[in-house]
Amino acid sequence: MLQLNGIFPPLPTSFNSDESVSQKHIRRNIEYLNSFDLRGYLILGSNGELVMLTHEEKIRVMQAAREAIPQEKLMLAGTGCESTRETILLSKEAAKAGADAVMVLNPSYYKGQISNSALVAHYHAVADASEVPVVIYNMPANTGLDMTAADILAIADHSNIIGLKDSGGNVAKMADIIYKAGKDFQVLAGSAGFLLPALSVGAVGGVLALANIAPGHCLDIYNVFSDGNMNKARELQQKIITLNAAVTRNWGVPALKAAMDHLGMYGGPCRKPLQPISDDIKKKLLQLL
């Protein structure tokens, strides 16, 4: 079974000034991050502005990323779309592009009809068709739909569904899923803000926006916890709470890209309607770096 243990940055998609995809800058950012002992990368997650890209652009982003990702590091590809059909098509393209697994955000537009049975049917159809393993992605802040532990456990009852990235931050729910799903189901924290609490209840790692700009610090939390030094891990966790909130809940992808620019990576613009952060917010952000 594919092992997900470790830290994954959800890489932002690089755009040129005209908002076209910059494969060159995608590769350059990965080449820089390759110097850290990361388990791999999530391409086309929420920070990758997945919903802003055409089907063809998504394929080009995945291809550019795989060119720069060493074979010993994993490439997870976000393939969640509103329809089961489109999710399957994109998942097949991800496998062709070299993804080791696909991460599937739940459909959410027709919330009134997205029942437990609809979710299970959707994910199991994708898992049946996918040539690579499937990781469930729960992101209630963006979808407006927080899958329950019962939903996730029912979905997980498929041999090709190997784990969950949970960005909801409900550590009690994560612990319940880890306990009931069994040892072969792997849970990843969806934010550095609760990385240590998630690890403490059995998560195997994290997909962390902060790992794009502070990969060493995220890895330190993971490694120190793995070594059994809870006091040091707690201290490291506390230090990153404010910065993590700045590039996630507070100011989002535009702030993450601005931080990357400041640190010598390529952040570049977001796609509209996302707007760049103001000069006042940028000043506050840079004080945290």
Does a structural domain hold residue 156? Answer: yes
Active-site residue set: 165
Residues 58-75: pLDDT tens digits?
999 999 999 999 999 999
In a domain, 256, yes or no: no
The mean per-residue pLDDT over the stretch 176-201 comes to 97
| Domain count along the chain | 1
Burial 120-136 (b: 16+ CB within 10 A, else e): bebbbebbebbebbbbb
| Residue 7 pLDDT | 98
For residue 276, give both structure tokens: 């760049």
Does a structural domain hold residue 224?
yes
- Confidence at residue 114, expressed as pLDDT on a 0 to 100 scale: 97
At 103 the pLDDT is 98
The CATH number linked to 205 is: 3.20.20.70
Contacts of 223 (CB under 8 A, 6+ apart): none
- Residue 225 and residue 52: Cα distance in Å, rounded? 36
Closest by Cα among 79, 83, 142, 157 to 114: 83
36-to-123, 153, 161, 187 alpha-carbon distances in Å? 33, 33, 28, 22
Q: Is residue 234 part of a domain?
A: no
Query: What is the strand order of the sheet 6-8 is part of?
Result: 6-8, 205-207, 186-189, 161-166, 134-138, 101-105, 74-78, 40-43, 10-11
Within a domain: 170: yes
pLDDT tens for each residue of 9-22: 999 999 999 999 99
Could you give the CA distance from residue 21 to residue 44 in angstroms, rounded to a whole number? 12
Please report the pLDDT score of residue 152 as a whole number. 98
Q: What's the whole-number mean pLDDT along residues 153-174?
A: 97
Mean pLDDT of 153-182: 97
Q: What pTM did the predictor assign?
A: 0.97
The whole domain housing 146 covers: 6-229
pLDDT of residue 57: 98
Answer whether residue 107 is part of any domain.
Answer: yes
What's the angle, vertex CA 163, arms to CA 210 and CA 130, rounded to 5? 110
Rounded to an integer, what is the distance from CA 43 to the centroid of its chain?
Answer: 8
The pLDDT assigned to 251 comes to 97
Q: Are 102 and 94 in contact (CB under 8 A)?
A: yes
Distance separating alpha carbons of residues 197 and 166, to the nearest angstrom: 13
Looking at residue 74, its pLDDT comes to 98
The alpha carbon of residue 247 and the mean position of all alpha carbons in its chain are separated, in whole angstroms, by 14
3-class SS of residue 79: coil
CB atoms within 10 A of CB 143: 20
Percent of the residues in the chain that have a pLDDT greater than 90, as a whole number: 99
- Count of residues in the chain: 289
Q: What is the pLDDT of residues 107-122, one digit of tens each?
A: 999 999 999 999 999 9
pLDDT digits (tens, 9 = 90+) for 234-263: 999 999 999 999 999 999 999 999 999 999
Residue 148 lies in a domain: yes
Contacts (Cβ under 8 Å, ≥6 apart) of 110: none
